[in-house]
Structures are given as structure tokens and as C-alpha cells.
A and B are shown apart, each in its own frame.
Chain A
Amino acid sequence: MNRLPALAVAFAVTFATVVSGAAVAGLVGGDGAAPAPEIENAHYTDTDLVNDRTPGEATIEMSSDAPTQTVVFDPGVDPSADQPAGPLALLGFGGPEVTARNVRPLANVLLENGHEVRVYTPESSRPAPTAGPSTGGESSPLGEELADADAFVTFRSDYSAAALDDIESFRESGGHLIVATEPSAGFDAPGAAALDGRLGTTSGPGYVYNMAENDLNYQRVYAEPTGDSSLTEGVDRAMFETVTPVGTAAAAGDVIRPIEGSQLSTTRAPTNAPVLARDDGVVVVGDSDFLVPENTQRVDNDVLIGNLADFLVENDRAGSHTAATQVGAPTPTTPAPGETNATQGPSNESTPIPEPQNATSA
């Protein structure tokens, strides 16, 4: 009988072991080995999800057979920005907005067709922008550059009053201009309005975007010609990257407008305001990136750039280029504001084109 306690203990230990084991398994283990079947997410495997990354190709050609013309580019180089790159450059600070790559495609096609290209890179400090009239009779360094040029492409708007006078005179004398602006120009000092005032051009606030149909980003918008013109011949569709609406004083100056579905950032409302417009000898475009090499390869940008090159050389400026080959002519004097046209007279046609001190050839 004295074995009963031992048997009871054995029973209790065995029972407790089995039951507690089950309890622990239930608490800790649970359904830890539960299967984890794959969850189908069709939105990850949609064949349309991956965007086409083909860069495309560009063929930029001119159709004009105009004789050699001189085209001056002003990429808006700020001499004071010529600082050594610091570590913050790695984080995205600094760097010019318009680089050599921006002007290369247009400059190249001009050079390939025998025209002369100069890039205006002022070495002196940048003149302060002002909207007032010029007070002196001296020509600006830019004016000296334009004196023997036929066309002018600028990515800048904050010119001095003297330079504005020279640009206006240049235009009045038949020179052709392309003014490329950016939505970000609206955040600069208000010099742009002064240039617009001289040229009769406008640029709107904000940027155009299209959420429904775009070129790989909502700010890379498509735009199409509104009618037939020499600027848009062969262009069914162009692409602009972060473009602002532009306009001219001309009644029907618009040339290219964004496609349906485009909206304006400041209003979030649909817009079809022009992004490229022309008023006789002035073309204003609300983007300076549509002609970088990668973007020339998108839709018909290459054709548009070729047409713009034609526009530049098909100017009404009295020819001083043939004269440039003549030797022995007197050196031209610096044109005063309003006299730029006069410098293109016959007496100057025999003038070799002086290499400006503050210009480099592209």
C-alpha cells in the first residue's frame, strides 16, 4: 500500500507533462508553421507597367540654302557662378542651368551647314537687371557681339538697359531671335519683363503638365502645331520638358500648343496656351531643354530644331557676312543704341568680323 503515493506522483507527472506540453505548444508554437501561400498581385505583373525606355534617335537637318550667317548664343552664363564644386554639388546644388549640351544640337546643325556660331560668355560681372530705358549712348558688350550677327538665341532675360536697347535694335534691323525661357524664370529678379517688353513677348506663370499622356513624366508634355507654318513643317508633335506658356503681341502668333489633357500648374485647370510662339522675327519658347541631345530624340523635336535653324538664318538682316571675307575694310565703330542697323550698311560689309574679346566660338 505504501506504493500508492509513488504511483500517484508518477500519474501526475506524466499527465502534467503531456498536457503542459500541449499548452506550451499552443501558446508558443501556435500555427507558426502555417503555410504562407503567395498572394497574387496582378498590378505588379501587368505587362503595361514597364515604360518604354528606348531613347530614340534624332536627325536634325536644315533646308535653307541661305549664305553664311552669324548666330550668337547667349546661354546665360553667370560669371560669378564659376566656383569650384563643393561637396554639396553631390547633393544636387549648383551647376549651370544651361550647359553646352543645351546649345549643341542647334549649334551643330548651323555649323554643319556652313554658318558661324558664337557663344556669348561675358567675363565681367553680370549687369544688374533693370527695366528702365538706357541712359547712355554706349553699346553693351552684347550689342558689340550682335553688331555683326544675323541671329540671336538667348536663354537669358535679365539684361541691362543698354543690352535691351541693343537687342531691340537688332530685332528692328531684321535680325531673328529665339528666346528660350523656363518656368523658373518667374522666380528670378523681374528682368524678364523688360526683355518681354522690348520684344512684345509674354510668358505665363507656372508650368504645363499632363497626367494622362506624356513622355515618361507629367512635366514632359507633348505639344502640336496649330496650323501650317515654316516653323512646324514636318512636325506632328513636339515634346517640351517643364515648359511655361508663352505668347506674342501678334494676333495669331501661336505656333505650338500643348495637347488635350494638359493643365497649368498655377490653376490646375486645362490649358492650351501656346508653348512656342512667333511674331515675325522673334520666336519665344517656354522651355530651354527641348533641344538637349536626349530630347531631340523624342517625337519630332529634331525636325523642329532644324526648322528653328532655318528660321535663324532666313533673317532680314542686311548681310555683313559676305563682307566678312573681304579684306582691308575699316574696322567698324561700336554701334550706339538705335544705330545697330546703320552698322550693317554697305560701308561695313567689307569689314572683317572682329573676334570679340568676351566671346568664344562653339
Chain B
Amino acid sequence: MTPRRQLAAVVVAAALLGVVVAPSVYGAASDTGDTVAVVEIEGPVTAGLADDVESELAEIRANGSVGAVVLKLDTPGGAPAASERMYKAVQRTSRAMPVIASVQATSASGGYYAMAPADDIYVLPTSVVGSIGLNAPAPAPRAPVAGPSGPDKVGTNEIEGWARQQTLADTFVNAMMAERGEEFDLSRAEVAEADVYLGTEAVENGYADEIGSLTEAVHEAATRAELGDYQVDTRETGPEGRFPILVRTDTQVVAVYATDPGYGEVEPMGLAYVHLGSVPHVDTVAQIAGSDLPAMETGANTTGTAASSAETVAGPNALGSLDGGERA
């Protein structure tokens, strides 16, 4: 046998042996599933947050090393479409592996929407969950505007506006009834009242399943996935920069994308799946963010209460100086 043939024979033998062994190696690498991924869903629900949550959950589903997912939530909700996108992503993930939601301070409205497909919802005793409904200003008639190509291009008919809003609200409520209708101890009409509940009450009326911390949620997820020794991989989400502050006016919620916003950085949300109780009123923000507040002059962060700084009571026009305003 010539040296060249000897070499070829050795290579072929090695390749054949490798092919025989490869499936085992592949399986070992892909099926370990010894990781519990903790996906953070924190802050206002926006398209940027939904982008991250979708991509993280898609990667988790594709990554065989992850055996279970825990959603770590602390959000008052936000944009309807972003809420729906996260709902769909969580729903798809829960079909593939155990998914446990762990609520920190709040998971309301759009946040509740996102976590509803989880197998179980863990809450702390004082977590706030619920607010299943739409926040929106009343459709208001507008004086006609000449120029647009159709009557609904600018403005709308008031009744059509009401119908659209009610459909948007029903979409949310129906989805929650489909996901957790069997757990809810409330009728559909009662759910649609959009109330929020503390964790202790939520486990009684079916808005949550267990009282427990994030650690306990992780352990439950690992147990459901039958993981022995497991590791935790935390996935931060949310866009860097352009992280909005939500504030509410008397009629609607607006997202503010800067601490010293210009007009282009104030975005009326209009229709929103948001829990108003978690969103400060613009007057409150103005009160604690007044430009002549001593703490502000030194550049300190002002997340105190309005009462502690009520000496500077700015009017609504103070919206233009949200220096260091409280983040919703």
C-alpha cells in the first residue's frame, strides 16, 4: 500500500468513526437543556421591548441548552401591538417548554397580556396584576380639515372611533378569557372592569397562581423541565437609549423619550394597554421635576414624592422641563 493510500485509508476510517460518534456528540450538545433562561420584561411596553423579547424567546426556542423559561416582569403595560407581539412569542415558547411568569412590583395591562400564556404566574404578596382593558381618550369630533384624500385620513367619525376602541378592548379581554378563563374566578364582565389586584388577592381570584419570588419561579420552571442541576441565564431586554417615560394627561398617556424633551420626543400613545395607576400624571412629574428644585440644580435624581417637593408647583406647561423625571 502506497503512503498516499495509507493516508486516504486513515482519513476515511477517521471520518467514518467520526460519523458514528457525531450523533451522540450532537445530541449531548443539543439536548442537555440544563439552563433556565430568565427573560426580563421591564418598563413600558414598546416596540423596542417587543423586538428584544421576541428575538430572545426565538433564540431560546432554538437553543437546546435551555430547558425552561422564567419571565421576570415589572411593567405597567403600553402599546397594544407590542403587547400582542410578546403575547404571541410567550405563547409559542410555552408550547415548547415550561414558562413561568414571575411578577415583581407590577405586571398590569399590556404586561399581563404578555405573560398570560405562561404555565403559571408567580406573584409577590404585594405585586399588582390585572388592568385588563384599554386606556384611551374619548373619541372627539374635530373641525373638518381640507386636503386629505378621504374623511378618515384625518380625524374620524366619533361613533366609528368608539367602535374601534371597544373592539380593541374586546380583543384584549377575549384573549385573556381564552388564556385564563378557567382560572379566573370572575365573569367576563367583571374581568373587563379592568381592576388590578394585589398578589394575595390575585391568587384567590385566578389572576395569579402562586405566591413566590423569582428564585422560586426559577426552581419551579426547572422542576417542570425535569432539570437536575441547572444554571440560570438572565437575558436583559429593552432598547438601549430612547427608553420612554410614560406620563398621563387628563385624557391620555404620552411617551416621553427624553428628560428634556422637544416636541418630537413627546409621543401621544392614544390607545394603550396601560395601567394608569402606575403612570404618573404630568402635573406630578412637573411638581417633582421643577427646574428650581434644589436637588435638580445639583443634578440629583428626583424620584421622591410630590409631597416632599411640592413647594415647586409647576403648571402643565412644565412638560418642557422634565429634568430627571420619575420613570414609570
Q: Please name the residue on chain B nearest to A51 by beta carbon.
A: B163
Most buried by A among B6, B13, B25, B254: B25
Complex CA gap A21/B62 in Å reads: 18
Q: Are B317 and A23 in contact (CB under 8 A)?
A: no
Within 8 Å of chain B (Cβ to Cβ): is A328? no
In the complex, what residues of B have CB within 8 A of residue A7's CB? Answer: 6-7, 10
Within 8 Å of chain A (Cβ to Cβ): is B249? yes
CB distance from B227 to the nearest CB of A (A): 17
CB distance from A17 to the nearest CB of B (A): 7
Interface hits, A53-70 → B, CB 8 Å: 53-56
Q: Answer whether A211 and B166 are a contact pair too, CB < 8 Å, given A39-B91, A39-B95.
A: no
Interface readout for A2-39 with B: 1 if CB under 8 Å, 0 if not? Answer: 01001110111111111101111111001110101001
Complex CA gap A10/B4 in Å reads: 12
Interface readout for B136-179 with A: 1 if CB under 8 Å, 0 if not? Answer: 01000100000000000000011110111111001100110110
Total count of chain A residues near the partner, CB < 8 A: 60
Q: Are A12 and B14 in contact (CB under 8 A)?
A: yes
Partner of B25, one of A23, A34, A52: A23
Complex CA gap A30/B63 in Å reads: 6
Partner of A27, one of B6, B65, B163, B282: B65
Q: Answer whether A297 and B3 are a contact pair too, CB < 8 Å, given A19-B18, A32-B62, A211-B193.
A: no
Complex CA gap A294/B11 in Å reads: 84
Complex CA gap A51/B169 in Å reads: 11
Complex CA gap A80/B251 in Å reads: 22
Partner of B178, one of A25, A42, A86: A42
In the complex, what residues of A have CB within 8 A of residue B249's CB? Answer: 88, 91-93
Q: Answer whether A17 and B175 are a contact pair too, CB < 8 Å, given A31-B64, A217-B166.
A: no
CB distance from B179 to the nearest CB of A (A): 9
Q: Are A41 and B141 in contact (CB under 8 A)?
A: no
In the complex, what residues of B have CB within 8 A of residue A6's CB? Answer: 7
Complex CA gap A216/B158 in Å reads: 11
Within 8 Å of chain A (Cβ to Cβ): is B295? no
In the complex, what residues of A have CB within 8 A of residue B17's CB? Answer: 15
In the complex, what residues of A have CB within 8 A of residue B175's CB? Answer: 41, 43-44
Q: Are A91 and B254 in contact (CB under 8 A)?
A: yes
Q: Are B141 and A216 in contact (CB under 8 A)?
A: no
Total count of chain B residues near the partner, CB < 8 A: 64
Q: Are B7 and A26 in contact (CB under 8 A)?
A: no
Interface readout for B174-206 with A: 1 if CB under 8 Å, 0 if not? Answer: 110110000000000110110000000000000
Q: Are B141 and A101 in contact (CB under 8 A)?
A: yes
Q: Please name the residue on chain A nearest to B191 by beta carbon.
A: A211
Q: Please name the residue on chain A nearest to B176 by beta carbon.
A: A43
Most buried by A among B22, B88, B268: B22
Q: Are A91 and B252 in contact (CB under 8 A)?
A: yes
In the complex, what residues of B have CB within 8 A of residue A31's CB? Answer: 30, 62, 64
Complex CA gap A87/B254 in Å reads: 14
Q: Are A19 and B157 in contact (CB under 8 A)?
A: no
Secondary structure dominating the interface of B: helix
Interface readout for B60-95 with A: 1 if CB under 8 Å, 0 if not? Answer: 011111000000000000000000000010011001
Within 8 Å of chain B (Cβ to Cβ): is A46? yes
Partner of A211, one of B31, B65, B189: B189
Within 8 Å of chain B (Cβ to Cβ): is A85? no
CB distance from A169 to the nearest CB of B (A): 37
Complex CA gap A46/B319 in Å reads: 42
Q: Are A14 and B141 in contact (CB under 8 A)?
A: no
Within 8 Å of chain B (Cβ to Cβ): is A252? no
In the complex, what residues of A have CB within 8 A of residue B171's CB? Answer: 43-44, 49
In the complex, what residues of B have CB within 8 A of residue A54's CB? Answer: 159
Q: Answer whether A50 and B137 are a contact pair too, CB < 8 Å, given A43-B177, A93-B249, A93-B250.
A: no
Interface readout for A226-263 with B: 1 if CB under 8 Å, 0 if not? Answer: 00000000000000000000000000000000000000
Q: Are A87 and B29 in contact (CB under 8 A)?
A: no
Q: Are B252 and A25 in contact (CB under 8 A)?
A: no
Q: Are A55 and B160 in contact (CB under 8 A)?
A: yes
Q: Are B27 and A297 in contact (CB under 8 A)?
A: no
Within 8 Å of chain B (Cβ to Cβ): is A128? no
Q: Answer whether A22 and B22 are a contact pair too, CB < 8 Å, given A10-B7, A212-B189.
A: yes
Q: Are B250 and A26 in contact (CB under 8 A)?
A: no
Within 8 Å of chain B (Cβ to Cβ): is A220? yes
Q: Are A53 and B7 in contact (CB under 8 A)?
A: no
CB distance from A261 to the nearest CB of B (A): 8
In the complex, what residues of B have CB within 8 A of residue A87's CB? Answer: 263
Complex CA gap A6/B171 in Å reads: 69
Q: Are A294 and B158 in contact (CB under 8 A)?
A: yes
Q: Are B319 and A88 in contact (CB under 8 A)?
A: yes
CB distance from B284 to the nearest CB of A (A): 15
Within 8 Å of chain A (Cβ to Cβ): is B328? no
CB distance from A46 to the nearest CB of B (A): 7
Q: Are A92 and B137 in contact (CB under 8 A)?
A: yes
Partner of B252, one of A19, A26, A49, A92: A92
In the complex, what residues of A have CB within 8 A of residue B268's CB? Answer: 90-91
In the complex, what residues of A have CB within 8 A of residue B91's CB? Answer: 39, 41
Q: Are A43 and B174 in contact (CB under 8 A)?
A: yes
Complex CA gap A217/B31 in Å reads: 51
In the complex, what residues of B have CB within 8 A of residue A215's CB? Answer: 162
- 21 A-B pairs, CB-CB below 8 angstroms? A10-B10, A10-B11, A11-B13, A12-B14, A14-B14, A14-B18, A25-B29, A26-B31, A30-B30, A36-B92, A42-B178, A43-B177, A44-B175, A46-B174, A88-B249, A92-B249, A211-B190, A216-B165, A217-B166, A294-B158, A294-B159
Binding site for B on A (CB under 8 A): 3, 6-8, 10-19, 21-27, 30-32, 34, 36, 39, 41-44, 46, 49-56, 86-88, 90-93, 101, 211-212, 215-218, 220, 292-294, 297-298
Q: What 8 A-B pairs have minimum CB-CB distances, sorted nearest first?
A: A18-B18, A26-B29, A92-B251, A53-B163, A22-B22, A26-B30, A14-B14, A216-B162
Besides the known contacts A24-B29, A31-B62, A55-B157, 11 further A-B residue pairs in the complex with CB atoms under 8 A apart: A6-B7, A13-B14, A16-B18, A22-B18, A23-B26, A25-B26, A30-B62, A39-B88, A43-B174, A93-B316, A216-B162
